Structure 1
Amino acid sequence: MLADSLPALKRRRFSIADPMDAKFAMESLAAAKRNYGREICLFETTPATISQTSNDASGSEEPDELEFSTEDYYRILATKKEDKYLKTKKIRDAETAASRSRITKAVIRVRFPDNHTLEATFHPSETLQSLFDLLTKVVARPDLPFYIYTTPPKKKINDSSQDFYSAGFAPGAIVYFSYDLPKGVDTPQGPFLKEDVMSLKGLELVPEQKPVPDQPALEPVVAAVPPLQKPAAGQKKMVKPKWLKM
């Protein structure tokens, strides 16, 4: 489940109104960043929320009469082949590089079996090993082997040398955590994260929008009208002749 599935974890973003609570949240998140080397946050996603999100997504699908037909498939396939042969490798590489340069971060969400989700931000050029290193620091049992995978279908992530962009994890992705224990060994049921990480649950500061100050009303500008000048003494008043028609 990669970046296109991120809306499934959509959660309500909020701003902390109480200044004391905001200060506590800011200090806690800053301490976590110092301890673990990057910005992290934690939230909980209940199955009911996931089910509701899925129902909303299914309800917004197009009607049956707009179903993707065989003719549409072959038309799009022909267009893809045409694009492939019309563009040289140099052009395709340049387009890929331009697309990659526009992505400046990879937001990775790691979902644990107890429905807690850890969110961390990486640079797309970092390797997946940096994600494994972070998980080793934050999990409650770093002595136990673990692995991460994507779904559906379930695919275990084995190559940690790939960068996030090449792995398809940029600008974001959802992965799942699981202990990698032999059969017959009891798997820990949680908590899966350290206490200081669990204390971050629900702490997420969102910059509040400051109201735009009212602009002072502009005073109307009144143009000064020069007073009518009376003809000077001895100066005759101009009189329109009767024969002149305007």
Structure 2
Amino acid sequence: MRAVRRTGSLRIAFALSLLLHLVVLFVHVNLPQRMASSTQRGATQARLEAQLARPRAERGGEPQMPVATPRQETRKTSPAHGLWAARKWSRAERAEMADFLGTLARKPKPRSGRELAQQALAAAGKAGEAYEQENGDRGASLRSSPTKGKPIERISLDLYFDAFINKMNQSARSVKRPETSAGYGKALVEIAIGVDGSVTAFHVLRAANQQAEIEYVRAVVARASPFAVLPADFRATTSKLTIQMCVATQPGAGSGFSRSFGGQDCME
């Protein structure tokens, strides 16, 4: 009986040992295949990812340039805010604002040459009045002798007369004034200028007691002659130009000449 039991135990042990070896052998055989299969799948996936990351460049055609789309400028308008947004303009305020904008829109009309000359003469007249009050004791007024046609325009007379006074004052610097005391009366002389600017006559209309001053004026006229030639509109109207000069002594007066602007009528 003991021999039979020992033989049965050996058989069981042998069967278990055989089964254990089969299991170990199966594990050793299948494990490398599984690892190789997983490695192959990983490599295939890596290759696929590499191909997707670097696509092949297409050949055979020129690259197309991108078409630039025109930019559209957009203006942002900000809504009114603050005090001006809530303010309501009255009708009077709107009318006043419209008038103000209208004056800004209207351009000033350029002045003509005649208007500029008249403005210059007005300024010269004011300066002449001031000069007469301060220095001049010899006021001259203009007389023309029309013989053929319409009278000369005032602006032409004023321009020529101003040139006459300027030349008289320039010549007076080179003529010595008499040292004798001047009289107290008012003398009146008349100077005639021909079309060529020469002095054709020097008449003493009233001497009073200003003989020394009259001779001084005569010397200055001779020094300044000839004057400017009469312009064309003068020659078409008159044959001579007559200038009357009033010689009146004023306290502290100088040796200059000025226009008579109506303040000095040269009456006794």
Normalising by structure 2, what TM-score?
Answer: 0.15
Structure in which a larger fraction of residues adopt helix: 2
Normalising by structure 1, what TM-score?
Answer: 0.16
Q: Quick check: which has more Rg, 1 or 2?
A: 2
Structure with more relative contact order (C-alpha pairs < 8 Å, separation 6 or more): 1
